[in-house]
Amino acid sequence: MKKYTASEARNNLGEIINRAYYTSQPVIVERRNKPLVAIVPLTPPGHTTESAPWGLPIYHLGGTKGTLSRSEIYGKEGR
């Protein structure tokens, strides 16, 4: 698992996204040697959106027509 500082992540975001996607390995972003976030691919190579291994929510927005209301986008909780 590769780790980057927050400033390295800011300067190399495209590379980090590609690394996470193509290796199917989480990339950790740290600040002051403390892990803050992990960047993981939603659908790693060889998986469909329905079989993504991370247990993350899958969003199907391609078939949406018209405009979405605020509650449709954010749910009842708001933001």
CA proximity to 52, closest of 60, 61, 43: 43
- Strand (E) or helix (H) holding 39: strand 34-39
Model pLDDT for residues 19-65, shown as the tens digit of each residue: 988 888 889 999 999 999 988 877 666 666 565 555 555 555 555 55
With a threshold of 0.85, does the pTM exceed it? no
